[in-house]
Structure 1
Amino acid sequence: MATASVVVPAREEAARLERTLASLGRQSFDGRLEVIVVASGAATLRIAREHGVVDRVLTDDRRDGPGAARNRGAAVATGDVLLFTDADTIVPSTWVRRHWRHYATPAVVGVGGPLRPLADGLSHRVRFRLLSDWWYRISWSVGFVQQPGPNCSVRRSAFEAVDGFDESLPFLEDTDLSLRLREAGRVAYDPDCPVRTSVRRHEREGYLPLLLAYLVGYLEYALPGRSPTREHFS
């Protein structure tokens, strides 16, 4: 039987994790679905351990960031395909199935999809559509693939071949993984496979400052001496 593994990093996410796990429990995937939570904080750990959909809980003692947490979860996963989402994200019931179907094509090594806001409001919807969907469609078309952390998957063999997420990167670790995966095969974008995620960071930092931070991050990533994989931007 086909097995897919979902890894959810959850650092002090007691207020949000339940919704994420509930959405994973509604998946229409025909194979076996394994859910692994890498958590920190007593309340978050308790929710993960008590939820029926969770197969394994790892304690994130190091708190080295989402990339390291995802790597820890992937290291114990048994699935042929590894899916990643965040503890402040709700996935649709078709999420695993839509990701999985892309891997029927042997050349596909990774899949990404758009993000939608959990919050109401036209401004959130428009900005997410521009920055977390249309930007991906444009960048993907020129080879700058960027699987977003809350909505991505990888073929396990390819993930292991590129050594997973680069834990030395505090920022853009999902983009870095995507670009390294591209050298191993095709990274697909599925515009019809969105997930809904929190806008708390956008509200806290503001859309424009956050956009500028990403632009600076892309530039720093590409500068000589700043990233071991900067050649992907040339």
Structure 2
Amino acid sequence: MSIRPPDGGRPGTPGEYGPFEPPASYGTPVPDGAPLPYGSPALYVPRAARELAALAVVVPAHDEEALLPHALAALRRAARHPALPVRARVRVVVVADACADATAALARAAGAHVVQVGARNPGRARAAGAAAALGLFDEPPERVWLASTDADSLVPANWLARQWRWGARGWDAVVGTVRPLGGDPALAGLLRREAALYRAAGGARHPHVHGANLGVRADAYLGVGGFPSLATGEDRALVHALESRGHRVLRTRRSPVGTSARLHPRASGGYGARLARLALLAAAEETEPVRGAGPV
């Protein structure tokens, strides 16, 4: 999907998204360039960081014909956000991984660049998508930003604009949060409790990592070897490698991505799997007899 904001799109204005969010992970931008256009004048970014030219969104998908069109529609809206610079070149890469439905056809019809693999492995799928995305631009890696989301997720309208802006501020990667969408009405109370615990975890520096809300500068991504070929946890492994190498990683709660609260997730070990386990525990608690209670 090749999308450009409409002509006349305006750049973001100071304070449009609120005050500058302080660093919340390893490393901070270092004095090696002009002052930041937003936020504290004491912070600086490397000169190369101001020269982003392209942004690619990688979307792995396994039999997602029902939800993928909605995910791509949300990405189209985000690519047209007025705070995203007009010069930004945006491409969407859908990785159809072992699909037996119309996922690939729907992605092509929506204008996405489609990569088909048979790995049935999220790590390999994300890596294949990133490699294909880098081949779409005639730009050095330091000028390309790789964003990642999922086929069952809806990014907010300002998601790409913020990813771009954080990259321009000198961050090497951005690790965001998610919020559940839909789900079984009978589990509404469970989902609310889980959401409250999720929001409270870690304070300002949240501990969560989701492939549905992730972004990284391509040179940093390549420098740590990219997404590993893992069936689960490839996103966490990538972020761990970035932090271990001293890259500037921003963990932020802004612009959370809505993701399906379905209890039969496509990938094992992810957010959906956690919700499924919680649902099983809730069902077990409801059927377990009260200790000490005799027959009525």
Q: TM-score over 0.5 for the alignment?
A: yes
Q: How do residues 46-125 of structure 1 correspond to structure 2 at under 5 angstroms?
A: 46-52=105-111, 54=112, 56-63=113-120, 65-78=121-134, 80-106=144-170, 108-119=171-182, 121-125=188-192
- What is the DSSP-based 3-state SS (H/G/I as helix, E as strand, rest coil) of the residue aligned with 2:77? coil
Matched residue, 1:173: 234
* Unaligned ranges ≥5, structure 1: 211-234
Quote how far apart the aligned CAs of 1:179 are: 0.8
Structure 1 runs of 4+ with >4 Å offset: none
How far apart, in 2, do the equivalents of 1:137 and 1:45 lie? 40
CA RMSD of aligned residues (A): 2.3
Matched, 1:5 2:64: no
Give per-residue Cα distances to partners, 1:134-181, cap 9 Å, x unaligned: 33546x47xxx54311100111100000011111x3322211111111
Rg comparison, structure with higher value: 2
- What is the DSSP-based 3-state SS (H/G/I as helix, E as strand, rest coil) of the residue aligned with 2:64? coil
Give per-residue Cα distances to partners, 1:78-136, cap 9 Å, x unaligned: 36110000000001110011122111233x211011111111635324413423x4335
* Worse overlay, 96-105 or 122-131: 122-131
Matched, 1:205 2:276: yes
Q: Is the 8 A contact 1:118 1:197 kept in 2?
A: yes
What is the number of residues matched between the two proteins?
A: 200
Q: Higher helix fraction: Structure 1 or Structure 2? A: 1
Matched residue, 1:15: 66
Give per-residue Cα distances to partners, 1:39-69, cap 9 Å, x unaligned: 12341111111113x1x10112222x11111
- What is the DSSP-based 3-state SS (H/G/I as helix, E as strand, rest coil) of the residue aligned with 1:24? helix
Residues 188, 15 of structure 1: alpha-carbon distance in 2 compared, 3 angstrom cutoff: same
Counterpart of 1:160 (choices 222, 232, 241) is 222
Q: Is the 8 A contact 2:173 2:217 kept in 1?
A: yes
Share of identical aligned residues, percent? 37
Residues 179, 209 of structure 1: alpha-carbon distance in 2 compared, 3 angstrom cutoff: farther
How far apart, in 2, do the equivalents of 1:82 and 1:147 lie? 16
* Code of the aligned partner of 1:73: G
Matched residue, 2:94: 37
Q: How do residues 221-232 of structure 1 correspond to structure 2 at under 5 angstroms?
A: none
* TM-score normalised over the length of structure 2: 0.62
Matched residue, 1:216: none
* Code of the aligned partner of 1:57: V
How far apart, in 1, do the equivalents of 2:280 and 2:232 lie? 15
- What is the DSSP-based 3-state SS (H/G/I as helix, E as strand, rest coil) of the residue aligned with 2:210? coil
Counterpart of 2:211 (choices 117, 126, 149) is 149
How far apart, in 1, do the equivalents of 2:122 and 2:152 lie? 13
* Code of the aligned partner of 1:190: T
* TM-score normalised over the length of structure 1: 0.77
How far apart, in 2, do the equivalents of 1:126 and 1:176 lie? 28
